[in-house]
Amino acid sequence: MEKFFNPHSVAVIGASNSPFSLGATICNILKHISFSGGVYAINRKGESIGDTPGYSSVLEVDEEIDLAVVVIAARHVPDMVRDCGVKGIKNIIIQSAGFSEGGPDGEVLQQELDEVSRRYGIRYMGPNCLGVLNTHGNFCCFFGIVPGMYDDVFEKRGNVSYIIQSGGVGALVIDSLQSEVSKINKVVSIGNKADIDEADLLDYFKNDNSSVIGMFLENVECGRKLFEKAKEIDKPILVYKVGRTSEGARAAMSHTAGMANNDVIFDSACKQAGIIRLNSISELHSLPKMFTAMPPLRGKRIAVFTNSGAFGGISADFIVSSGLEMAHLTSETQEKLRKTGQLFNASNPIDVGPGLSTQTFIDIFDILLSSGEIDGLLPIPNVWQDVVIDSIVEIVKLCQAYEKPAAIYIPNAAERIISIKNDRQIPVFESPEEAVRALEVSYRYHDYLSKKELLAWRKYYKDRAREEGQPHRNIDQSVSLRQQAL
């Protein structure tokens, strides 16, 4: 799988000098982002594309080729894949459309493709996909991101990876992450996933440098394989799946040739495998920062802090509805808070007046995070002064120090929020419900991991008891001690 993301050499089959050649664009992108491997343009005439040498077939290239990217018309694909097989290329990304998603003729082509690839032991991505992007490897044959955006993506490398069954959603996510503090590691568009599927990719992301995995799926064909792979991974997996309703599933089928699934079963399997199922596409780009920029939420008690009173009540509603709790602050803590400056309300939600200094903000956060009475923070600072923005930067540091997370929401217009995110690179959410959702998801994932760890310990103690010939020994006490240590 490594050769799909970090190939030493790539053949772009279908790169020509004809106008609008997608293959030529890929060659140019690879040059633009300083891809260090060899690139070979394959087209009928054997033309070179700028600096990229051209050949009329992969068989004419003397050097070894790790990966072929195919962007020719579907009817020529099986022949080209055969050439790749003869040349010894084992990894192919087939971006061409017109297979199973395109009616009976496409089905026949898909069968041919399957036969050829099986014969030569070839693994392929797609067809009908938009390719792969790997920021750390300076490799990209991914189509569909906004022109001129490549520079940013490859300059600001991150650790969030995506498996996406749609180019449009992929482009939207990449585009949106530009203003987020979480950045991209890898993106794969899997299209019809006739060979390599989301489970194969999860298996690869299990041990690579990804720390969060996002997925957009239109259908799941091998559910068992997916959930088994997911259970082996101790990284948050965020999944948006189309097809909650039969109409949605039907629409998705026409797009990437999938099968409808029972959504209720999918939902419950996600819970068991620790997969976080998303409610909206925007969560694919808004939630990763909660995992990359903040410690996990280890309990349910949330303190709300705001300088815009109404948001106390608004967010308390969301917190309670999400299954989290409004933290109860003791009178000692409230007294400490009152001493910091002008507070309208020192009980939770904490409502502060205007004109506080950055230091006062820090003092308040410090009192809350060190109190032992809260597990996480929901700061809602209306940003109308620089002191407020400066204080947000400090919250992030304090959270790391106390190992407790904050989901920060700024109650300003979206335009202003985005500009602050761009300028300061801080993890900020765009609505109170999104911030609460981030806390909820952080807590649920931590809870899943804890339970998984306890199950593992329970198994360990059971096995040991059996080995020691005491299969009926009560192991609850040992597990309970472990639980306290978590």
Dihedral of CA atoms 462, 466, 468, 471 in degrees, nearest 10, equals: 90
Quickly tell me which residue has 């996510």 as its tokens.
Answer: 173
Q: Please report whether residue 18 would count as binding its own copies according to CB under 8 A.
A: no
Judged by CB under 8 A, the residue of 9, 360, 371, 431 near its own copies is: 431
Q: How far apart are CA 456 and CA 450, in angstroms?
A: 10
Q: Please report whether residue 251 would count as binding its own copies according to CB under 8 A.
A: yes
In the region spanning residues 169 to 228, those forming contacts with its own copies, defined by CB under 8 A, are 169, 171-172, 175-176, 178-179, 216, 218
Site size for its own copies, by CB under 8 A? Answer: 64
Angle among Cα 310, 181, 274 to the nearest 5 degrees reads 85
Q: Please report whether residue 342 would count as binding its own copies according to CB under 8 A.
A: no
Q: Please report whether residue 384 would count as binding its own copies according to CB under 8 A.
A: yes
Residue nearer to its own copies on the CB measure, 56 or 246: 246
Q: Please report whether residue 321 would count as binding its own copies according to CB under 8 A.
A: yes
Residue nearer to its own copies on the CB measure, 122 or 194: 194
- Scanning 35-43, 359-367, 406-414, 465-473 for contacts with its own copies by CB under 8 A, the matching segment is 406-414
Residues in the chain: 486
Max alpha carbon distance in the chain (Å)? 81
Q: How far apart are CA 13 and CA 120, in angstroms?
A: 18
- Residue 352 pairs in a beta bridge with 343
Q: Please report whether residue 273 would count as binding its own copies according to CB under 8 A.
A: no
Q: Please report whether residue 320 would count as binding its own copies according to CB under 8 A.
A: yes
Q: Please report whether residue 334 would count as binding its own copies according to CB under 8 A.
A: no
CB of 178 to its own copies, least distance (A): 7
- Scanning 154-162, 249-257, 356-364, 447-455 for contacts with its own copies by CB under 8 A, the matching segment is 249-257
- Scanning 11-19, 82-90, 240-248, 291-299 for contacts with its own copies by CB under 8 A, the matching segment is 240-248
Q: Any idea what DSSP says for residue 67?
A: E
Q: How far apart are CA 26 and CA 41, in angstroms?
A: 10
- Scanning 317-325, 364-372, 398-406, 452-460 for contacts with its own copies by CB under 8 A, the matching segment is 317-325
CB of 246 to its own copies, least distance (A): 8
Task: Specify whether the CB–CB gap between 165 and 216 falls below 8 A.
Answer: yes
CB of 254 to its own copies, least distance (A): 5
CB of 419 to its own copies, least distance (A): 9
Q: Please report whether residue 420 would count as binding its own copies according to CB under 8 A.
A: no
Q: Which distant-in-sequence residues (6+ apart) come within 8 Å of 475 by Cβ?
A: 458, 461, 462, 465
Beta carbons within 10 angstroms of residue 179's beta carbon: 17
Phi, psi values for residue 8, rounded to 5°: -85, -25
Q: Which distant-in-sequence residues (6+ apart) come within 8 Å of 361 by Cβ?
A: 381, 387, 388, 391, 394, 395
Residue nearer to its own copies on the CB measure, 85 or 312: 312
Judged by CB under 8 A, the residue of 37, 38, 53, 168 near its own copies is: 168
Q: Please report whether residue 359 would count as binding its own copies according to CB under 8 A.
A: no
Q: Please report whether residue 415 would count as binding its own copies according to CB under 8 A.
A: yes
Task: Specify whether the CB–CB gap between 252 and 217 falls below 8 A.
Answer: no
Task: Specify whether the CB–CB gap between 365 and 303 falls below 8 A.
Answer: no
Q: Which of 190, 183, 240 is nearest to 214 (CA)?
A: 240
Which residues contact its own copies (rule: CB under 8 A)? 146-147, 165-169, 171-172, 175-176, 178-179, 216, 218, 242-252, 254-256, 280-282, 304, 308-314, 316-317, 319-321, 326, 344-345, 347, 349, 351, 382, 384, 411-416, 418, 430-433
